[in-house]
Every structure is written in C-alpha cells, then in structure tokens.
Amino acid sequence: MKIVCRLAVLVLGGVCVGCGDAKPAENARAQPAVNRQPTEAAQTSIVRDRGLSTASARGAIRVVDLEGHSVNPFGDADAKAVVFVFVCTDCPVVNRYAPDIERLYEAYRQKHVAFWLVYADPREEPAKIRRHLKEYGYKVAALRDPEYRLVKLCRVTKTPEAVLFSPEGTQAYRGRIDDRFTDYGKARSAPSREDLREAIDCVLQGRPVPVATTQVVGCFIPESR
C-alpha cells in the first residue's frame, strides 16, 4: 500500500504550521512554514463509497495494539460509551490538544467510558508511537489502524477528529474536540464550547446530542492508494 501524506495547514498568529516535526503541546505555536494545502478531493476521497453500517460493522472491527495484537475496540460490554480520537504523531494541532485529550480520558474513565487514541497513519511504527505517547504524557490506550478499518467505519478525514458511540453502537457524535480552532489561521485563546465533553455527557444521560457533527481543523489523514 503506497501512502501519500496530505497535510492540512493551520496558521497561528501569522506562522504556518503543518504535519511536520512538532514540539510538545506547550510549544506548538512555533512551527515551520508549510506551503502545501490539500485539495477537497483529498478530504472526500478517503470516505467515498463506504457502504458501512456502524451498528452492524462494529462487532467485526479489528485493529491492532502496539504489540500487534488484534483488538475489538467495541468489546467492553460494560462501556457506557466509546470514544475514538484519531491522531498522528507529527500534527501540531493534535499535539496542542494532548493535555485536553488526557484530561477528558481522566474525567470519564471512572464513568466507564472506553477511550482510545487511534493512530491512523500506517507509516507510523509502534516505536514511534510509544515515543509520542511518552513525550506528551498520554495514558490513554493507543491503537493502530493500518488498514483504515476505523477510519472507514467512522468516516473521519482529519486529526484530531473525535468520534463517540453510544452503548448500542450508534455513532452519536463526530467532529472537533472543542471550538478553539475556528478556521485555518484563526484560533481562540480558549474554547467557548467543549463539543466532545458535551456529547459524552449527553450519551451518559441518555439524551440525544444536539449537534452531532462539527467541522475539524487539523491535519488530513493520509490517503490510501
């Protein structure tokens, strides 16, 4: 499988950043310039013609952990919700969100919410992922999705994109973690809406999520060729 990395470009304070070498989250503002901007075709082609039912396909989904063992991420029968956050090691937006992702995990793990980091770039080997987890202080369980099984099921296109499933296997939310980044080159000093947290709370309370899909600002998931 030949993989072509396509990057979403984000301009923070006049400095362009992309899916290049990233510093830890606290230094993520200072990134080298990237001149490539992915086309909309790159975004849409990865989710074209899926024909998958999330409720029926979730039981058959198998991805791998960092030891190479097959994992069914929906396999915890006691989970009150399942959250996937799609990431890659060198996206500065992902790395900027590392503390937020970890805080969400810590806040909800005692409430029986299954939380997974999904590394969606097949080129990223376990050793590189382990370094990334250590560097950014992650305790969240990590999965690799080298065949894009979860990517296809969840219909994600970018990192960091979050997907939330109810205990019944219904996809309840897909989109941004919060609204800190409003567009390429536009970022708030702090979010005004914590979309993923609000969606999890709705599922735990048995209520529908008012806004089930939001737009993500980040790095495009590499496209399968």
Q: What is the pLDDT of residue 15?
A: 37
Q: What is the pLDDT of residue 1?
A: 44
Work out the mean pLDDT of the chain and round it to a whole number: 80
Domain containing residue 15: CATH number: 3.40.30.10
4-50 tens-digit pLDDT = 344 343 333 433 334 444 444 444 443 333 333 344 343 333 333 33
> 219: closest CA among 129, 64, 96?
96
Residue 58 has pLDDT above 60, yes or no: no
Q: By CB neighbour count within 10 A (0-12 exposed, 13-18 middle, 19+ buried), where does 52 fall?
A: middle
94-120 tens-digit pLDDT = 999 999 999 999 999 999 999 999 999
- Band of pLDDT at residue 177, cut at 50, 70 and 90: very high
Which residue type sits at 56? S
- Dihedral sign (CA 183, 189, 191, 196): positive
- Band of pLDDT at residue 79, cut at 50, 70 and 90: very high
Domain count for the chain, please give it: 1
For residue 25, what are the domain limits?
Answer: 3-224
Task: Determine contact, residues 2/223, Cβ cutoff 8 Å.
Answer: no
Percent of the chain with pLDDT strictly greater than 70:
72
Residue 159 has pLDDT above 60, yes or no: yes
- Band of pLDDT at residue 60, cut at 50, 70 and 90: low
Q: What is the pLDDT of residue 202?
A: 98
Contacts (Cβ under 8 Å, ≥6 apart) of 45: 223
Q: Average pLDDT of 123-137?
A: 97
Residue 163 has pLDDT above 90, yes or no: yes
